[in-house]
Amino acid sequence: MSDPMNVLAPEHRRLRIGDAWRDAASGATFAVEDPATGKTIAEVADADVVDGLAALDAASTAMAQWAATPPRKRSELLTATYRALTERSEEVARLITLEMGKPLAEARGEVAYGAEFFRWFAEEAVRVEGRYSIAPAGGYRILTVPKPVGPCVFVTPWNFPLAMGARKIAPALAAGCTTITKPAGQTPLTMLFLARIMEEVGVPPGVVNVVTTKRSGDVVSALLADSRTRKLSFTGSTEVGRVLLRQAADNVLRTSMELGGNAALIVCADADLDVAVDGAMVAKMRNIGESCIAANRIYVEEPVREEFTARFAERMGALSMGHGLDDGVNVGALIDEASVTKIDELVADAVDRGARVVVGGERPDGPGHFYPPTVLVDVPEDARMLEAEIFGPVAPIISFTSDDEVMAKANDTEHGLAGYIFTRDLQRALRFTEGLDTGMLGINRGLISDPSAPFGGVKQSGIGKEGSHEGIQEYLDLTYVAIDLP
């Protein structure tokens, strides 16, 4: 196995601030580990508040010139980033696998997905429009002028270390905003590599800044308290999102929040079971289940429960677990020991309450943070895993007997990010579409993420949308001008 760290030289494992790669002001570093082995693969700069504010200095200094850059030029730089990521896909994918743990095939898929945000928003950059109209009462004209909101702070998660940053950086740059990204401490290397690529294609200094740190709370709080920051976008847990929203309120910041999920996947008796099993495998096991839109609760109508469970469990049990860079691996390591412990406790809790393990359910011995694909049946309603976000390869199956019953259960959560329905009855699908409290819904489909579609939730799963035409609007303010014209 070749060393993926060869693509990221030591000088690019430092902070990217303005036109320089620099050490943290304190000189501190922290270790990045391979979750499949527990071994350190790199040391990166550990920023503190001084470094965070230096990045904000750079973003603020670059803001006026970047906002004045012609949209076509911004578009061309985003297109160049898309091409560079596509050309270097294998290098980026291997780096993602090494620091995050997902199988290489999954990492390649993430690179393609993340790169597509740069292509999509390159096209959106030249289509930002205002409007001109006659006031209804006459006597003057109404002009609306979209403008970039200003310097943006991004806090990104570890589960998609490229795509979650790309989904924020691309629309911000398309709109004319400068950015500071604080990637997750577990997976900073991919974002540093993206910053290097954007430097190489010619994105001006100060437009894309990356601050790696294990002192996230202090650094992000200082950035949000500074009046020069005008936008916060966060992807992560609802608990942390609430904290950041409170901090953002002091300066009345524009916010986008993509928070936790508790997706219900509903298999109706009239579903095509081939399609339903395939869809459930994707919705549950994409990214090892470490996804906010992963199927967290699988409800199967009683007449097909036994057959669906047998077929789904057979597929889950056939998956191969191991280091993500090894050939033939379907299930890589989870991100850290805390994740494995949490999942093990959720399974034990369900079993203690009467659930039965059909496949998996026991963590393996040996190094690395692994947990096997697991299917449970007879899961009681008071099991913690039906309320908690599992974030791993564990699938609880619950039977239902009526649409009203399963709709009520699916909606009985503070979250409302995504859901999945499998049925061949169009009217039934439409009733679920109207009745489920989710921001996104897959019908006879387990994969719903797409840069051209608006991604986001309702209730406590978030605020705002990412991707699609709506995504760039999150980075634009609107000035209304009244022009006297009798």
Give residue-wise pLDDT tens across range 358-387: 999 999 999 999 999 999 999 999 999 999
What pLDDT is attached to residue 12?
86
Does the structure show a pLDDT above 60 at 236? yes
Does the structure show a pLDDT above 60 at 62? yes
Evaluate whether 58 touches 18 at the Cβ level (below 8 Å).
yes
Does the structure show a pLDDT above 70 at 66? yes
The DSSP call for residue 208 is: E
Q: Say whether 258 is catalytic.
A: yes
CA max distance for the chain: 81
What pLDDT is attached to residue 3?
66
Instruction: Report the distance separating Cα 439 and Cα 259, nearest Å.
Output: 12
Instruction: Report the distance separating Cα 435 and Cα 63, nearest Å.
Output: 44
In this predicted model, what pLDDT tens digit does every residue of 270-318 receive, in sequence order? 999 999 999 999 999 999 999 999 999 999 999 999 999 999 999 999 9
Nearest partner of 172 among 254, 52, 260, judged by Cα: 254
Q: How confident is the model at residue 439 (pLDDT cuts 50, 70, 90)?
A: very high
Nearest partner of 289 among 311, 326, 323, 316, judged by Cα: 316
Q: How confident is the model at residue 9 (pLDDT cuts 50, 70, 90)?
A: confident
The DSSP call for residue 286 is: G
Instruction: Report the distance separating Cα 263 and Cα 134, nearest Å.
Output: 46
Q: How confident is the model at residue 11 (pLDDT cuts 50, 70, 90)?
A: confident
Question: One-letter amino acid identity for 308?
Answer: F
Q: What are phi and psi of 20, to 5 degrees?
A: -135, 155
In this predicted model, what pLDDT tens digit does every residue of 331-343 receive, in sequence order? 999 999 999 999 9
Q: Whole-prediction pTM value? A: 0.96
Evaluate whether 250 touches 225 at the Cβ level (below 8 Å).
yes
Averaged pLDDT for residues 429-438:
98
Strands, DSSP E only, in 225-314?
231-235, 254-258, 263-267, 295-301
Does the structure show a pLDDT above 80 at 417? yes
How many other C-beta atoms can be found within 10 angstroms of the C-beta atom of residue 411?
16
In this predicted model, what pLDDT tens digit does every residue of 252-263 receive, in sequence order? 999 999 999 999
What pLDDT is attached to residue 319?
98
Question: Which of 258, 290, 389, 466 is the catalytic position?
Answer: 258
Does the structure show a pLDDT above 70 at 65? yes
Averaged pLDDT for residues 217-238:
98
Q: How confident is the model at residue 1 (pLDDT cuts 50, 70, 90)?
A: very low
Averaged pLDDT for residues 141-145:
98
In this predicted model, what pLDDT tens digit does every residue of 152-209 receive, in sequence order? 999 999 999 999 999 999 999 999 999 999 999 999 999 999 999 999 999 999 999 9
